Structure 1
Amino acid sequence: MTRVNMFIDMDTELIKESSKKAEAEMAQEISSKRAGEELEQEIVQDDEVAIDAIPLATKPAPIVNFQIHRKGRQGYYEIMRADGSSKIYLLFSQLMKSFDREDLETFWNLVKAKHENTRPEEGFERVLWGDLKTMFEHHVEDIIWRNLQGKKVLLWRLYDSCGVHFVRFEDMHVYMLVEKRYPLTPATITNMLNKKLKSDYWNEMCYQLLKLMKKQLKKQ
């Protein structure tokens, strides 16, 4: 009877050991989880410090001068800024991709000051002056609008960095500010809409430009 009363089932011992082991593992898991959370919090804080330490992108210095260089029949633009830096652009369209509206307006003012509102005779200067004047100081009687009659649209593109849209026709082109209405004929506007606007990505400026063109078409 004594041996019977002192007998302990082997399964009972295993259960107790398993229970103790499970409790130990759970405690270790909780401890590891807390340590992981503390480490994660430290990493987040470190990231925040690192992000704060990164300087924000700064706007380029203002444009102070420009030159048009010619090499044979080819030409290119050199844009100088107030910090002494300069950059070469082979095409006017490259300017549109790099300039913002302030750069564009400053550039036009420099061109006007150089030629004193007179039409330059040199080829590259004349084209540059004509493109900017049509953009900023267009007039319904300008010859360019009469020359657009019956011209087929080859490309219609938006340069959203400076708020300008560009239309290439069969043998001419025109740059226009997004928010302004220009004396385009209904046939030309319809042709532009049918050709579809080209842009690097869809944004609010695309929508507003299309809305303006359709509104202008209805009023005509």
Structure 2
Amino acid sequence: MEKKSVIARLNKVSSPDGDYLVIYRANGNFRAFNYLMEVLHIFDRQDLFHLYDFMREQYSEVTLDGFALILWGDLKIMMESLTEGNEQSDFWSGQQDWKIVTWRLYESCGVCILEFEDGIVIHMLVERRYPLSKDLLQRMLDLGLEVERESSVALDLIRFIKQQIDEE
């Protein structure tokens, strides 16, 4: 089996349609995108973790703006521990007001997405426990998980959510 080519660099490209980030792989292939959700269709878990590591290493000392800042924020919320006192813990407040529009699973990379009425999108790893309220978890189950096809990952995620509700 051929080993997949890793991410070699990221570039910001501005166009009349807006800003894009271009992911260049070591083998010369590249892909432009302007939302994390766009790459979830083509990324697997290895790609996702590599993108996070790459951005953390390359951009930790750089002031980001535009889409790069949004991407970095999405990746940090998804990947980093959200413990008390963490600057991101405020992000999770106000869940009682969050109005979920969709709850979707991208199985290839193990990410589920919550989209809200106000346009906010949260990307979450399926196996990670996030500080979601029991009420929000129940609203997720009531809405239903959107999947491309029924799978053990989707069923395990639903069981995991039910277990979290029962534990509270």
TM-based fold match above 0.5: yes
Following superposition, the deviation at residue 63 of structure 1 comes to: 1.4
TM, length-normalised to structure 2: 0.88
Number of the residue aligned with 2:70: 127
Over the aligned positions, Cα root-mean-square deviation in angstroms equals 1.9
Alpha-carbon offset, residue 126 of structure 1: 1.5
Q: How many angstroms does 1:62 deviate by?
A: 1.4
1:44-63 maps to which residues of 2 (within 5 A)? Answer: 58=2, 60-63=4-7
Q: Higher relative CO (CA 8 A, sep ≥ 6), structure 1 or 2? A: 2
How many Å separate the matches in 2 of 1:119 and 1:209? 36
Name the aligned partner's letter for residue 151 of structure 1: W
- 2:136 alignment counterpart: 188
Cross-structure match for 1:94: 38
Shift of 1:144: 1.7
Question: What residue in structure 2 maps to residue 14 of structure 1?
Answer: none
Separation of aligned partners in 1, 2:19 and 2:134? 35
Deviation at 1:114, TM superposition (A): 2.1
Q: Could you tell me how far 1:83 is from its partner in structure 2? A: 0.8
Any residues of structure 2 matched to 1:147-166 within 5 Å, and which?
147-166=94-113
Q: Which has the higher helix share?
A: 1
Identity %: 31
Q: Provide the rounded CA distance (Å) in 2 between the counterparts of 1:213 and 1:95.
A: 25
Contact 1:119–1:126 (CA under 8 A) maintained in structure 2: no
Q: Which 5+ residue runs of structure 1 have no aligned equivalent?
A: 1-55
Q: Which structure carries more strand by proportion?
A: 2
| Unaligned 5+ runs, structure 2 | none
Query: Which amino acid letter does the alignment assign opposite residue 92 of structure 1?
Result: L
Equivalent in the alignment of 2:126 = 178
- 34, 52, 57: which one pairs with 1:108? 52
What is the TM-score when the length of structure 1 is the normalising length?
0.68
Distance apart, 1:169 and its partner CA: 1.2
Quote the Cα distance in structure 2 between the aligned partners of 1:149 and 1:72: 38
